[in-house]
Amino acid sequence: MCGIVAYVGNKNVAPLLIEGLKRLEYRGYDSAGMAVVTPQGIKLVRSVGRVSVLEAHAASDAALQGTLGIAHTRWATHGVPSEANAHPHLGQSRSGHTIAVVHNGIIENYAALKTWLTERGHQFYSQTDTEVLAKLVAEFYEGPPAARDAAAGGGVANGHGGLEQAVQAALREVTGAYAIAVVSNAEPHTLVCARKGSPLIVGIGENSYIVASDASAIIAHTTQVFTLDDYQVAKLCAGPDDTVNGTRGPWSVAFRTTTIDNVPVSREVSALEFDLQQIELGKFKHYMLKEIMEQPEAIRNCLRGRIDKREARVVLGGLNQFARDLVRAKRFILTGQGTAFHAGRIAEYLFEDLAKVPARAEYASEFRYRNPIIEDGSIVVAISQSGETADTLAALREAKERGALALGVVNAVGSTIARDTDAGVYLHVGPEIGVASTKAFVGQVTVLTLMALFIGKRKYLSDEVVRSYLAELERMPDHLERVLTQSEAIGQIVSNYVRRQNWLFLGRGYNFPVALEGALKLKEISYIHAEGMPAAEMKHGPIALIDKGMPVVFIATQGSQYEKVISNIEEVRARGGAVIAVATEGDARIRKYAEAVIEVPAVPEPLQPALTVLPLQLVAYHAAVQRGLDVDKPRNLAKSVTVE
């Protein structure tokens, strides 16, 4: 949901910003823009559409030369995608200086601020909430920090005042969520950024700082990063002489971090855990396909060090200190949105089945505002790939406030949700760039299975049972590989139905949430209308939809409800529906009922979802490709939804 990238250093900034925006484009792609601080003032380029359009504009603008700049790729919230609404937005201070701002988030009190700023003479040119921020910083901006601060030995980086002070003052007036980067033409070596609620990472490069919404735009420049907590501001300076930190040298860099009330805070610098290769497409045409195909390796990484078959033990270091709470828990609330919510729905089955504890999955957005009852012994598990989803974060905070122990099942290391939980388990499936979540889902399901076994083993499950699940889990990456070899065949199957505009996905038990996920995948990237539901629910109404040739995907693997699923398949066939079955390898019987069969290896029921979802991911992928759609950037969507 919008990506920002900003740089201050000694390199020409425009190409560097474009490269960063391309890496962040999956976060939003309806318009883009950048502002570069040049000797002639702030130069702005903005365009509607993809970053490549902006790149072409930027390449033809010779004036776009400088070493300080900010850039943005947008996913519209306030105002249609247009050049005027694209970021950066500008403000004009009374001291005659120009301020440029890029922003990811939502300013909730923007209407009141806009009225106030209009009364004070500011003119607005866009429909965005962000423009309010630009004017607000300008309103508080009194010019660069006094020369005496720098002369007194502290240098600009240490001296207070100027842009940093104006940003702090502006943010004290703001309600809402923001990650911002701000520049002024009067401070050509200073970049100020801040965050509350929306993600922001600061990379410490050689002679430079690079700021971005996520690490993918930073990794090409440095692995050394720090993050800001909510309500914190970083002032980043890189300049050619003693303007920066009071020492003489060909090029100096210095930063300081404060709260918006100007209280100094220290930030810990850490190393990024992934490399550039992980975020490049390599031989694949789309990130979604790359990430689908990466799943065997991703799950190997997810399981690494977590299985101790000899001791029949699940090793989850992050949960050890809360093991007693987990065993005594009266109820688990699994919360997330979209695909992460579907993983939570699978965990309902896993936790009740393997850990014998009541578990309910809740849409974070609904849970948060329902005045939820959190009894003693409730544990909330926030599930999130990005660790930045605003709804999930809000639900987590609400649950914590009401006394629940809060755990995280998160992919993005160091993300806000990961930091806000009492403890958790990382997925370790590597960065997910494709807008449609695939490997993160299988990682979430795997981690939740490990958690259920971690608790179950301490309650009712015998060592023998735990050991056999662990052995099966160890085999999962190989099973996943086998399913993926059918990609082409799945593409063939899809080609027979791809023009149909309505699909159903049906499953029972553990495979019911997989049906939900299959439908979500198909609709989000191929724009085909699809519904997922329990196979038995179909005859309570939705069966009316079935007409001749309507594709109905059944997850019909062998297990406790196999016979019942076969009956449901009969009901569909009797009404002319075209049955596509995901079935267990070697199941000859199912071929009598289905027009097409996709096979998965036989595994115990609790482990089936991580396998049965793969064919559905491939169905969605091939459908989108065959319809000529942009798989990695589906319309209206963005990867990380950081607004409620």
| Residues forming the active site | 2, 639
| Contact residue for ligand F6R among 228, 298, 603, 641 (CB under 6 A) | 641
Nearest distance from C-beta of residue 339 to ligand F6R, angstroms: 3
Q: Does 386 interact with ligand F6R (rule: CB under 6 A)?
A: yes
The Cα–Cα gap between 117 and 121 comes to 7
Q: Does 436 interact with ligand F6R (rule: CB under 6 A)?
A: yes
DSSP 8-state symbol, 385: S
Nearest residue to 252 via CA among 189, 160, 201, 295: 189
Would you say 29 and 632 are in contact if contact means Cβ atoms under 8 Å apart? Answer: no
Q: Does the CA dihedral 337-339-343-348 come out positive or negative?
A: positive
- E-only strand ranges, 416-501: 423-426
Q: Element (H or E) spanning 436, and its range?
A: none
| Contact residue for ligand F6R among 126, 389, 608, 617 (CB under 6 A) | 389
| Contact residue for ligand F6R among 67, 128, 258, 437 (CB under 6 A) | 437
Residue closer to ligand F6R by CB (options 179, 520) is: 520
Q: Which stretch binds ligand F6R (CB under 6 A): 53-61, 97-105, 383-391, 546-554?
A: 383-391
Residue closer to ligand F6R by CB (options 5, 288) is: 288
For residue 29, what are its two tokens? 């792609």
The Cα–Cα gap between 132 and 455 comes to 50
DSSP 8-state symbol, 197: B
Annotate each residue in 577-616 with x if it binds ligand F6R (CB under 6 A) or - if it does not, as one string. ----------------------------------------
Give SS3 for 433: coil
- The answer for residues whose C-beta is within 8 angstroms of residue 463's C-beta and 6 or more apart is 312, 457
* Beta-bridge mates of residue 182: 101, 192
- The answer for residues whose C-beta is within 8 angstroms of residue 603's C-beta and 6 or more apart is 472, 475, 476, 479, 611
Nearest distance from C-beta of residue 130 to ligand F6R, angstroms: 22
Q: Which stretch binds ligand F6R (CB under 6 A): 48-56, 384-392, 489-497, 553-561?
A: 384-392
Tokens 């009969």 belong to which residue?
570
* Beta-bridge mates of residue 156: none
Nearest distance from C-beta of residue 393 to ligand F6R, angstroms: 9
| Contact residue for ligand F6R among 48, 194, 340, 598 (CB under 6 A) | 340
The Cα–Cα gap between 438 and 514 comes to 12
For residue 327, what are its two tokens? 């065993």
User: What interhelical angle do 338-354 and 512-526 show, nearest 10?
Assistant: 170
Q: Does 245 interact with ligand F6R (rule: CB under 6 A)?
A: no
Annotate each residue in 523-552 with x if it binds ligand F6R (CB under 6 A) or - if it does not, as one string. -x----------------------------
Nearest distance from C-beta of residue 105 to ligand F6R, angstroms: 16
Q: Does 421 interact with ligand F6R (rule: CB under 6 A)?
A: no
Q: Does the CA dihedral 583-585-590-591 come out positive or negative?
A: positive
Nearest distance from C-beta of residue 641 to ligand F6R, angstroms: 5
- The answer for residues whose C-beta is within 8 angstroms of residue 537's C-beta and 6 or more apart is none
The Cα–Cα gap between 292 and 443 comes to 12
| Contact residue for ligand F6R among 337, 378, 561, 617 (CB under 6 A) | 337
Nearest distance from C-beta of residue 326 to ligand F6R, angstroms: 22
Q: Does 339 interact with ligand F6R (rule: CB under 6 A)?
A: yes
> Taking CB under 6 A as the criterion, which residues in 152-181 touch ligand F6R?
none
Q: Does 385 interact with ligand F6R (rule: CB under 6 A)?
A: yes
Site size for ligand F6R (CB under 6 A) = 16
Residue closer to ligand F6R by CB (options 258, 389) is: 389
Closest residue to ligand F6R using C-beta atoms: 338
Q: Element (H or E) spanning 392, and its range?
A: helix 390-401
Nearest distance from C-beta of residue 392 to ligand F6R, angstroms: 5
Residue closer to ligand F6R by CB (options 331, 521) is: 521
The Cα–Cα gap between 79 and 65 comes to 30
Q: Does 446 interact with ligand F6R (rule: CB under 6 A)?
A: no
The Cα–Cα gap between 337 and 386 comes to 11
Tokens 């930091």 belong to which residue?
419
The Cα–Cα gap between 38 and 63 comes to 8
Nearest distance from C-beta of residue 381 to ligand F6R, angstroms: 13
Residue closer to ligand F6R by CB (options 389, 568) is: 389
What length does the chain have?
644
The Cα–Cα gap between 189 and 401 comes to 42
Q: Which stretch binds ligand F6R (CB under 6 A): 56-64, 128-136, 379-387, 401-409?
A: 379-387
Q: Does 392 interact with ligand F6R (rule: CB under 6 A)?
A: yes
Q: Does 190 interact with ligand F6R (rule: CB under 6 A)?
A: no
Give SS3 for 308: strand
> Taking CB under 6 A as the criterion, which residues in 496-525 touch ligand F6R?
520, 524
Conformational region of residue 153, where left means phi above 0, alpha means psi within -120 to 50, and beta covers everything else: left
- The answer for residues whose C-beta is within 8 angstroms of residue 386's C-beta and 6 or more apart is 199, 411, 412, 415, 639, 640
Nearest distance from C-beta of residue 415 to ligand F6R, angstroms: 9
> Taking CB under 6 A as the criterion, which residues in 317-336 touch ligand F6R?
336
Q: Which stretch binds ligand F6R (CB under 6 A): 122-130, 345-353, 355-363, 382-390?
A: 382-390
Nearest distance from C-beta of residue 110 to ligand F6R, angstroms: 24
Nearest distance from C-beta of residue 337 to ligand F6R, angstroms: 4
Q: Does 384 interact with ligand F6R (rule: CB under 6 A)?
A: yes
Residue closer to ligand F6R by CB (options 2, 340) is: 340
Annotate each residue in 611-640 with x if it binds ligand F6R (CB under 6 A) or - if it does not, as one string. -----------------------------x
Contact residues toward ligand F6R (CB under 6 A) are: 336-340, 384-386, 389, 392, 436-437, 520, 524, 640-641
